Amino acid sequence: MIIDTHAYLSRWPFRRLAGDEPSEFTARMREQGVGQAWVGSFDGLLHKDVAAVNARLAADCRAHAAGLQLIAFGSVNPALPDWQEDLRRCREQHRMPGIRLHPNYHGYTLADPRFTEVLRLAARQGLIVQLVVTMEDERTQHPLMQVPSVDLGPLAGIVPAIPSLRLIVLNQNHYAPVKKIAEAGQVYFDFAMVERVRGVATLARQISPERVVFGSHFPLFYVESAALKMREAGLKDEDSQAIREGNARRLLDGR
């Protein structure tokens, strides 16, 4: 079985996507052997009513599973008032195991004290934090909605101060200092935007197969592409199993 740690429900704001209907989403995931998907909501990028976004996401995960276990990861925007309450609802009301952050869409950097505060509070409450570096190549972005990638530079200095933090960096690009960041603490990386030949194997060598998780970025990207990346990586069976499923299970178990 595959655990896909990086997928989305709802609608991408700029165009319709193959797979953005829940029935097609679950069917295509199952076709590729995905048994569990960690999903955020596209609404979390631009909507200001984050509480409503997360409530809909939790309800959709219950309503549309259809043979695929959907695990909701709520949005938190520390640039909005009362974001601490949104984080509390994720944990206590919706029983989510983690949250998903989009700093570039929400208008703050990783050097902002509010980012560190989110990490500290999430770690204190036992939540996994997913940090999204970018959503799409800047060349394909709408001309009125240019959103640069998140600068990961400050991360290696922040993570060691929060030892209980479990962090997944999503959609990192080849410029990211992945080794330095991974060595700073419990930091994991997906490979949705790793495009080079045997890219998954290269990433695993850089930071250890125990720190790589399966992430498709579906439906903005094709889940079939992520599955093919695993097949062409040429990994040892135990390393492939760890990336497909084992590392994500360990994260959910809090280890």
Q: What is the pLDDT of residues 56-104, one digit of tens each?
A: 999 999 999 888 999 999 999 999 999 999 999 999 999 999 999 999 9
pLDDT at 29 over 70: yes
Q: Average pLDDT in the 33-56 region? A: 98
Pairing verdict, β 166-170 and 69-75:
unpaired
Strands of the sheet with 128-132, listed across from one edge: 2-9, 34-41, 69-75, 98-101, 128-132, 166-170, 186-189
The predicted structure's pLDDT at residue 28: 96
- What is the domain range of residue 105? 2-252
What is the total residue count of the chain?
255
Q: What is the pLDDT of residue 255?
A: 57
Q: Quote the pLDDT of residue 173.
A: 77
What is the value of pTM for the model shown? 0.96
d(CA 135, CA 146): 11
Counting the structural domains of the chain, the total is 1
- Mean pLDDT along residues 5-27: 96
Determine whether 18 is exposed, middle or buried from the number of CB atoms within 10 Å of its CB (0-12, 13-18, 19+): exposed
Q: Which CATH number belongs to the domain containing residue 219 in this structure?
A: 3.20.20.140
